[in-house]
Amino acid sequence: MWQTSPMSERETDSGQPFERSDYQWGTLTESTVHTNPILAIDRWIKEAQAAGSREPSAMCLATVGADATPSSRMVLVRAVTPEWITFFTNYQSRKGQEIDANPIVCGTFWWPEVERQIRVEGRIERSPAEESDAYFASRPRASQLASACSPQSEIIPSRDEIEREIAAMDAAYPGAIPRPAHWGGYRIFPRRIEFWQGRPARLHDRLVYTFKTDGWQQNWLAP
């Protein structure tokens, strides 16, 4: 049986429910959210960082492939603009293949330090090549080599094979490493954004923004 610290939720041998915490950190009002809800995501990321979050830009990205099977994984958001959210990855990975099949995704941020969550739903497309080139060039060399050599999501015989590929590319490119065609950015264009703030007694605050032809429509949701 796995164990957690006394302050964490845990399951007992008797099958009793997990312990739960009562959320007390703050409240959510319209003024808490930026007038542009996409930019509010950037604000909440920065506030989570200030509160001590180790990976404040981490987002769980959910995709659905051609076979209608959903899958999810964590990605790191690298930019937030008034219109889109950007992250970078391998285009040939499972997520990339599923995005090719169905360019509608959902992303979820969760920051336990501030008892907040954001859910983002929208259309996704590849970033311009020049943007991917610039970001790839800014990465540490070790990260560039790993991205260039890893056939992400594919079955491999062992880790040793990847490390040999990395060593070979490192030797072949003593200078700048070119961005591989299979790696680059994606932009998510949100059309629905839900802001969630934990509250006592499970009466959480939920404020949803839905994009309409005349702009963003704001509504409160029941907890």
The catalytic site residues sit at: 202
Token digits for 3? 């164990």
Q: How far apart are CA 45 and CA 50, in angstroms?
A: 9
DSSP-assigned beta bridge partners for residue 105? 122
Distances (CA, A) of 99 to 63, 82, 138, 178, 222: 7, 22, 25, 24, 31
Backbone angles phi, psi at 74, to 5 degrees: -90, 135
DSSP-assigned beta bridge partners for residue 119? 108, 194
Write the DSSP symbol of residue 178. P
Given a contact cutoff of 8 angstroms between Cβ atoms, the answer to whether 40 and 30 are in contact is: no
Provide the pairing of β-strand 183-197 with 205-212. Answer: antiparallel
